[in-house]
Amino acid sequence: MIIHTPLPSASHTDILSLRFELDLLAAFAILFSMPAGGVQEGGHVAKVEGTKYRRVLEAIRNQIVGGEYSSNRRLPPWSQIAEQHGVGMATVQKAVDTLTRDGFLYAVPGAGTYVADHLPNECRFALALHHESHALTSMHDSAVRNAANNLDNGTSIQFRQYKVSGWPQYQEEINRLSDDVVNNRLAGVISPFFCPGFDGTPILKTPGMPLVFCSHTKFENAYIVGLQGDSFIQRAMAHVRSRGRRRIAHLVLDTPFGFDPHAFEASLRQLDAEFRPYWIQGVVLGHTTRTASNMVRLLMELEGDKRPDALIVHDDALLEPVVLGLLSCNVRVPEDLEVVSLANFPSPRPQGLPVRRLGFDWHEMLSKSIEVIRLARQGHKPAPIHLPAVFEDELPVRAATRNEQMALHLASLGS
């Protein structure tokens, strides 16, 4: 039981008087610590000014995004904007500076401020890459970056890269991407892999912001521009069979990402190819170089019909150690062994052996993703796109991009 005991020597009037004096002292303390212009950042005046700035910023940005201020149109005089919103010139300048930095406006000295020709909400695409490189992602991410650099023309197509993950320690990049989404600095988001870190963020929740995955996704409001899952194995198998090879070995990364040996065996039998369990070898992630080389050497030391006459490498991270292993045991390619390897294009060819590379064209993948985003922003609902694997010699010949032209120019200066 709690017993409430009154103050022994204080009347009700005394208590009220004491409370009034304490309140008065607190008020004087606040008053004498206050700067002349109002409270400091975080106080009421600063919050009001911040609210005014955000209101002006969002109003101008909405007028640009909505088409009221078209590209290359001169912005009204700042005094007119200030009067329209009931704010000072400094607030307008702060909003204009932010929109200029974000790519919505540009200034012409002596002539005023104009709406940009290529707006970020129409031309800038987020590219969500892995937060770190390892054997499973380095070749893949390198090809994606190469394709993005080739496509980025600095005007109608611009890429902004983010290194994301589902792990909490990489939340800062998710927050940076979310901030760009909320502030309409992007036309859309392209994620070459599924990122659970997007769940519950503005990346998914912001209306009108298209999100494209180049792999599987559980997010219902996302679009798919992906890979035909079985096209690599089907085309690789058909190629080696067309070369008269029946004893086909497979080297895969031992990961939980869907390698099904039973489906493998079924496809082998459909193509009238031999099947032996020891011809399918998995390499544990993190031990690719030595393990892959040794496995290839062991396979090639088998004799007679136990030795494979074709090898399919299921991940480009394995190709370099495979080549080293074949060179070390003097295997002739393709005379002794027909080799087909998965590849992500564009990427440099491995040196040493004439390996056939079959894989996925990220230039085409990103181009299709941009098309999907632009269709979605126009109100359409694009259907999923699945692109097949292509051999290296089937890739279209493309004109040199501005990045390649710059590299050639720098090389010529050095010669």
Residue the block writes with tokens 């390897």: 341
Cβ–Cβ under 8 Å, residues 211 and 198: yes
For domain 44-115, the question of CATH label 3.90.550.10 is answered with no
How do the pLDDT tens digits run along the chain, 415 residues long? Answer: 333 333 334 433 343 343 334 333 333 333 333 333 333 334 444 445 578 999 999 999 999 999 999 999 999 999 999 999 999 999 999 999 999 999 999 999 989 999 999 999 999 999 998 766 555 567 888 899 999 999 999 999 999 999 887 676 678 899 999 999 999 999 999 998 878 888 889 999 899 999 999 877 677 789 999 888 789 988 999 999 999 999 999 998 876 455 566 777 777 777 778 888 899 888 876 666 788 899 999 999 999 999 999 999 998 889 999 999 999 999 999 999 999 999 999 988 888 899 999 999 999 999 999 999 999 999 999 999 999 999 999 998 866 555 545 544 554 455 4
* Fold type of domain 231-345: Rossmann fold (3.40.50)
Q: What is the CATH number of domain 121-227+366-405?
A: 3.40.50.2300
Helix, strand or coil, per DSSP, at residue 249: strand
The DSSP line for 277-297 is: GGGEEEEETT-HHHHHHHHHH
The distance between the two most distant Cα atoms of the chain, rounded to a whole number of Å, is 109
Strands 188-191, 124-130: pairing is parallel
Residue 119, Cβ density class (10 Å: 0-12 exposed, 13-18 middle, ≥19 buried): buried
- By residue count, the chain amounts to 415
Residue 319, Cβ density class (10 Å: 0-12 exposed, 13-18 middle, ≥19 buried): buried
- The H or E element spanning position 119 is none
Residue the block writes with tokens 């494979």: 308
Helices (H) and strands (E) in the chain — how many of each? 14, 14
In Å, what is the CA distance from 69 to each residue of 52, 81, 102, 113, 295? 21, 13, 16, 12, 64
Structure tokens at 225: 């521009």
Query: Do 231-345 and 121-227+366-405 have the same topology in CATH?
Result: yes
Structure tokens at 30: 């606040």
**What contacts 124, CB < 8 A, 6 or more positions away?**
103, 158, 159, 160, 185, 186, 187
DSSP state of 103: T
**What contacts 311, CB < 8 A, 6 or more positions away?**
248, 249, 250, 251, 296, 299, 322, 337, 338, 339, 340
Query: Domain residue spans in the chain?
Result: 44-115, 121-227+366-405, 231-345
In the chain, the N- to C-terminal Cα span, in Å, equals 94
> Distance (Å, rounded) from C-alpha 252 to C-alpha 279?
11
In Å, what is the CA distance from 314 to each residue of 105, 106, 339, 400? 48, 49, 11, 30
SS (H, E, C) 346-389: CCCCCCCCCCEEEEEEHHHHHHHHHHHHHHHHCCCCCCCEEECC
- Of 161, 257, 222, 202, the closest CA to residue 381 belongs to 222
Helix, strand or coil, per DSSP, at residue 163: strand
Cβ–Cβ under 8 Å, residues 350 and 289: no
In Å, what is the CA distance from 93 to each residue of 103, 176, 259, 299? 15, 24, 57, 70
> Distance (Å, rounded) from C-alpha 86 to C-alpha 49?
11
